[in-house]
Amino acid sequence: MDLSTDACTSSPNNFTIRFVISFSLWLTEEEIRIKMALNGTSYTTTKPPPNPSPLRNAKFFQANMRILVTGGAGFIGSHLVDRLMQNEKNEVIVVDNYFTGSKDNLRQWFGHPRFELIRHDVTQPLLVEVDQIYHLACPASPIFYKYNAVKTIKTNVIGTLNMLGLAKRVGARILLTSTSEVYGDPLVHPQDESYWGNVNPIGVRSCYDEGKRVAETLMFDYHRQHGIEIRIARIFNTYGPRMNIDDGRVVSNFIAQAIRNEPLTVQSPGTQTRSFCYVSDMVDGLIRLMEGSNTGPINIGNPGEFTMIELAETVKELINPKVEIRRVDNTPDDPRQRKPVITKANELLGWEPKIKLRDGLPLMENDFRQRLGIAKNT
């Protein structure tokens, strides 16, 4: 039996390993697991997947990597699909219920022999044969995740359970896109992965932040109990082309407002901070995490930290120097500061963001101008 552990799992001490190995000749796997549990150590063997279809061993079978992307019609998901499709060894299956995503984001892949799109809600079970699962399905903008809070928490809890059940059944590796929101309104700054967070469990954001915390718990429980190969990314505020124009998040709001010559709505007090990551950097980090050997959780975000007033001033300077900046009321429980420590991503994945905010904003402006039909200098 395989007793492999990885860097981010509580690993048995040497005595325990010797103890378990010496007894493993006489004990069943279940007995070993119980002994390790009594010892307070975790059981991280990866069970072999069920036998694949005999067709996969046939002479002319092309052994492609079959990858499921849940939420693949959304903002980050569709960029991830673009990157995965560039590798001709990948077959990509997207499932999405189109709550915040759109088929339009994937239209370049319609009809491609290595691409499939399925209308499906992850709160329902799904049976597909895949090797990897990127589990992104969940509305990400606070406006949308609060719109139907019960559905959001169902998506996070039942949706993640269903995808873990699928991973267990077919032996797939699964990556969860968790969030910086698991740190809540952080009392530690900047945030590294060892921080447990400061979250209001009954607030209006808890369908999302507590939902993602439960999703992380489920990932680790399936890993410890069933040997599922897991990866967890804690994503910080990500922006870029293809965001919904009326998404409601701050970068898309300010860019759309600047292009339309409407006031930039800085929510009070305006001194709250965020760290903004360009979407191509994010996709690069997610793929490295999936392909690497660490479970995470690993922060993926750009450590450049800005107040919302600074962001508004930068958008004004770059996109529309005449636009007004207006202070408006904030929403409850808005975190006051967020900045990732990315040492783990750097050391374990060799990842760091490449696109600075001042370079990413104009790329997003071009995309928004095209979709809004408003050229520069009009």
Ligand X SMILES: O=c1ccn([C@@H]2O[C@H](COP(=O)(O)OP(=O)(O)O[C@H]3OC[C@@H](O)[C@H](O)[C@H]3O)[C@@H](O)[C@H]2O)c(=O)[nH]1
CB 200 within 8 A of CB 208: no
Q: Which of 36, 76, 153, 228 binds ligand NAD (CB under 6 A)?
A: 76
Q: Rounded to an integer, what distance in angstroms lies between the CA atom of residue 72 and that of residue 363?
A: 21
| Residue 184 Cβ vs ligand NAD, minimum distance, rounded to whole Å | 13
Whether 208 sits among the annotated catalytic residues: the reply is yes
Binding partner of residue 116 among ligand X, ligand NAD, none, CB cut-off 5 to 8 Å per kind:
none
Question: Two tokens at 308?
Answer: 């919302």
Find the binding residues for ligand NAD in span 89-128 (CB under 6 A): 96-101, 121-123
155 scored as a contact of ligand NAD (CB under 6 A): yes
Strand runs labelled E in 209-336 = 230-235, 238-239, 264-267, 273-275, 277-278, 298-300, 305-307, 325-328
Binding partner of residue 320 among ligand X, ligand NAD, none, CB cut-off 5 to 8 Å per kind:
none
Q: Rounded to an integer, what distance in angstroms lies between the CA atom of residue 173 and that of residue 6?
A: 14
| Residue 74 Cβ vs ligand NAD, minimum distance, rounded to whole Å | 2
Q: Looking up tokens 């069933």, which residue turns up?
A: 226
The DSSP secondary structure of 77-119, one letter per residue, reads HHHHHHHHHTSTTEEEEEEE--SS--GGGGGGGTT-TTEEEEE
Q: Looking up tokens 């082309």, which residue turns up?
A: 241
Spot the catalytic one: 134, 145, 208, 239: 208
Q: 3-class secondary structure for 188-239?
A: CCCECCCCCCECCCCCCCHHHHHHHHHHHHHHHHHHHHHCCCEEEEEECCEE
Binding piece for ligand NAD, criterion CB under 6 A, among 65-73, 196-204, 223-231, 341-349: 65-73
How many alpha carbons fall within 13 Å on the CB side of residue 7?
12
DSSP class of 70: E
Length of the chain: 378
CB 276 within 8 A of CB 306: yes
Binding partner of residue 330 among ligand NAD, ligand X, none, CB cut-off 5 to 8 Å per kind:
ligand X
237 scored as a contact of ligand NAD (CB under 6 A): yes
Nearer of residues 39 and 273 to ligand NAD, judged by Cβ: 273
Cis upstream peptide for 269 (omega within 30°): yes
Binding partner of residue 272 among ligand NAD, ligand X, none, CB cut-off 5 to 8 Å per kind:
ligand X
| Residue 265 Cβ vs ligand X, minimum distance, rounded to whole Å | 4
Binding partner of residue 334 among ligand X, ligand NAD, none, CB cut-off 5 to 8 Å per kind:
ligand X
Binding piece for ligand NAD, criterion CB under 6 A, among 108-116, 125-133, 137-145, 283-291: 137-145
Helix (H) or strand (E) run with residue 282 in it = helix 279-291
280 scored as a contact of ligand NAD (CB under 6 A): no
Nearer of residues 44 and 253 to ligand NAD, judged by Cβ: 253
238 scored as a contact of ligand NAD (CB under 6 A): yes
Nearer of residues 66 and 274 to ligand X, judged by Cβ: 274
Binding partner of residue 67 among ligand NAD, ligand X, none, CB cut-off 5 to 8 Å per kind:
none
CA distances from 295 to 4, 79, 87, 93 (A): 13, 23, 24, 23
Nearer of residues 36 and 250 to ligand X, judged by Cβ: 250
Q: Which of 179, 257, 275, 302 binds ligand NAD (CB under 6 A)?
A: 179
The catalytic residue positions are: 208
**Positions in the binding site for ligand NAD (CB under 6 A):** 70-71, 73-77, 96-101, 121-123, 136-140, 155, 159, 177, 179, 235, 237-238
